[in-house]
Chain A
Amino acid sequence: MAAIARPREAGSREAGPRASGSRGSYPFWRWVILIVAGVYFLVPLFAALRFAGITAFGSVISETGFTSSLGLSVRLAIVTTLVTIALMLPTGVYVHLRLPKLRRLLEGITILLIVIPPVVLIVGVLQIAPNFLKSTPYLLALEYVILAMPFAYRAIDAGLRALDLKTVVEASNSLGAGWISTLWRVVLPNLRTAVLSAVVLTVALVLGEFTMASLALFQTFPVWIVVNDQTSGQVSVAASLLALFVTWVFLLAITMIGTRQARRTGGGQVTLFVVARQETRGD
């Protein structure tokens, strides 16, 4: 979900929030809110750690099915990412250059994709997919591309907005570069942060996806966690925590890299959902 928040145009967020003059200290109610939220969000993590115990983490790896299911999830993540980027990057560039009027439409389509329930989508997919596709787990990868599109498109779109694409492409063309070479050697390096965040969001999505995988009867990592729960609850909780931490490290890394790059270039600030443009700094 998410990614709805619009990247905000540059310049409009000038002063930012201010504590409206006099009130310097942080009022009481805010601390109450933040503490309640902190307790609600942290206690389950703590409880899961306690429940799993240290030893369960060690035995996760040796559990039957761990390697094969994780392997499958990783392969699906790689395929999904490659297809998503190969599809969305040229589309995004093309729309920005040639069909700017279609940008709104594309944005609308991607919002639509966010709200399509995966459980309904997989019903339809299993209904119409030809048999050779239904027998391979890569059917999932093809559908994950659909689920990942909104995030990928928004990330790439925001990156393109921060770039003077037209000038860059014209310069490249007049120096004699063809389309492929322009895309690969000029546009892509300029969109490194945007593409990186699209990749990370896609990978996180694929590694965590349960609905479609379980209903299409493929044992990806999240499906394995649930199946394995019947034999060992502790190991399942430990595996959940591991999956979480790996995803979090991924997501944190992307925000950090993005913010650092933004500071250097004054380009775009990467948050997980919006790659918002910041006003160019005065330096």
Chain B
Amino acid sequence: MTLTLRWLRRIAGIVPFAVYVTLGLLLPMVAVAVGAFTDNSGNFTFSNISDATHGVYLHGFWQSIILSVVTAILPGIFGLLIAYAVFTAKRGTILRQAIVTASGVFANFGGVPLAFLFVATLGASGLATRWLADIGFNPYDHGFNLYSLIGVIVVYFYFQVPLMVLVILPALEGLRPAWREAAQNLGARSWDYWRFVGGPVLLPSFLGCVLLLFGSALSAYATAEALTSGTIPLTSIQIGSFLNGNVIAGQENVGKALGLGMVVIIAIAMVIYVALQRRAARWLR
């Protein structure tokens, strides 16, 4: 009895935080999950889930997943290369400072302004489009369209690449110089070092970061919405359109089923992420 009391007193200090998270996050998410299994009159049903996994909504999930995979892997690799270039630059140089700071700024920068920047750049009459057209390669004649999936992918790179630089740098810095020296003393060439030492140590961190980018791309809404005015079939946009009221009567809760589906995908990604982080922590500490 006294033990529980003491425990309660110890825990008291985080009660405000716990209550806030419960009210502001947990309850709304539970409401979404419950709504996904309820029809309009409040009865239990699977029809929302079934609607959400068929037809246009299934297509939305696929498009979202393709978008997220592409904008996780390519920026992941490109970000790693930039981070490596930064990492091998001497500490404290202006270049390094500039890139790290710029990454912080650009990674924070998504949403509406980003969409407008790219309309001015790669829109049908954007600056870069005209430059390319002048040298005889108008991207719009070669299947490119800023307001389609490929366009959104190009735009997402803008915040995904710097995000990768930021999250992978600490892992790169965890590679001890001593490992490389030891490998060299044992006769390893650069390739051998990366194949047998650096690569395997870095791999879990790299994959973890890529998963993080995946989650970031999947849940992004503002950029795609502002860019395409909600016409692109992505899950996040479709969820939003349920709130905007562009839905057939009787289907209101399908939006919640879509939301649940999205959370489930992200949850799977995060479980793998945590497992990978744990593995990475074995070497990088």
Residues of chain A touching chain B, judged by Cβ–Cβ distance below 8 Å, are: 1-2, 4-6, 8-9, 12-13, 15-20, 26, 30, 33-34, 37, 40-41, 43-48, 50-52, 87-88, 90-91, 94-95, 98-99, 102, 106, 108-109, 111-113, 115-128, 142-143, 145-146, 149, 204, 208-211, 214-215, 222, 225-226, 229, 233, 236-237, 240-241, 243-244, 247-248, 251-252, 255, 271-274, 276
A214 & B225 in contact (Cβ 8 Å cutoff) = yes
Scoring B21, B89, B216 by chain A CB atoms within 10 A of each residue's CB, the highest score goes to B21
A91 & B119 in contact (Cβ 8 Å cutoff) = no
Tell me the bound Cα distance from A179 to B89 in angstroms.
47
A119 & B239 in contact (Cβ 8 Å cutoff) = yes
Q: Given the complex, which residues of A lie within 8 Å of B31, measured CB to CB?
A: 124, 127-128
| Given known A33-B85, A124-B29, contact A94–B13 (CB-CB < 8 A) | yes
| Given known A127-B31, A145-B20, contact A255–B117 (CB-CB < 8 A) | no
Cβ < 8 Å to A, chain B residues 103-144: 104-113, 116-122, 126-128
A9 & B285 in contact (Cβ 8 Å cutoff) = yes
Q: Given the complex, which residues of A lie within 8 Å of B44, measured CB to CB?
A: none
- Interface range on chain B: under 10, 10 to 19, 20 to 34, or 35 or more? 35 or more
Tell me the bound Cα distance from A46 to B126 in angstroms.
11
Tell me the bound Cα distance from A272 to B159 in angstroms.
14
B25 CB–A CB distance under 8 Å: yes
Tell me the bound Cα distance from A17 to B285 in angstroms.
16
Q: Given the complex, which residues of A lie within 8 Å of B104, measured CB to CB?
A: 251, 255, 271-273
Q: Given the complex, which residues of B lie within 8 Å of A90, measured CB to CB?
A: 13, 16
Scoring A33, A37, A111, A121 by chain B CB atoms within 10 A of each residue's CB, the highest score goes to A37
| Given known A87-B17, A120-B239, contact A127–B127 (CB-CB < 8 A) | no
A274 & B236 in contact (Cβ 8 Å cutoff) = no
- Dominant SS among interface residues on chain A: helix
Q: Given the complex, which residues of B lie within 8 Å of A271, measured CB to CB?
A: 100-101, 104, 166
B5 CB–A CB distance under 8 Å: no
B58 CB–A CB distance under 8 Å: no
Cβ < 8 Å to A, chain B residues 2-42: 10-11, 13-14, 16-17, 20-21, 24-25, 27-32, 35
| For the complex of A and B, 6 pairs with smallest distance between CB atoms | A124-B28, A272-B104, A117-B219, A94-B13, A240-B113, A47-B127
